[in-house]
Amino acid sequence: MNKTLVSMIGVVIFLDRITKYLVEKFIPLDDSMDVIPGFFRLTHLQNPGGAFSFLAESASRWREPILMFFPAAALVIIFALLRKDRETNRKTLRLSSFLPELPEIFGTESRRAQ
């Protein structure tokens, strides 16, 4: 993997962690702070579960390992697939650049139009 890409990923993760720390330290739970009034606001909320509060109410000691395992497994699978067949990757990238246009092609309402 390209060293520049790895560096950028590291910087994004670092900034994410710093932002979360600052929000937890300076913004009370369920409160907001305007960073750029009328444009950008930080709100301190907590979701102890996964996406859509998956396992949020679970008291199981396995909740955190499960929530850490699935993203790690997904990354391993994605990297394995990316390394496996470079031609498939090119086709996938072409398709993914085409996907935002699908709603307009099929005549359904586009999110950008809202």
Model confidence pTM above 0.75: no
How is the chain split into domains, by residue range? 1-46, 59-102
Specify the pLDDT at position 53.
64
Residue 60 CA to residue 101 CA, distance in Å, equals 43
In degrees, to the nearest 5, what angle opens at C-alpha 75 toward C-alphas 95 and 9? Answer: 90
| Per-residue confidence (pLDDT) for residue 39, from 0 to 100 | 94
* pLDDT one digit per residue (tens) for the chain, 114 residues: 578 878 888 899 899 999 989 999 999 999 999 999 999 999 998 876 666 566 667 777 777 777 778 778 888 887 777 777 666 666 666 665 555 554 444 454 444 444
CB neighbourhood size of 58 (10 A):
14
pLDDT value of position 1: 58
Q: Determine the 3-state secondary structure of 63 from DSSP.
A: helix
Question: Does an H or E element contain 66, and which?
Answer: helix 63-84
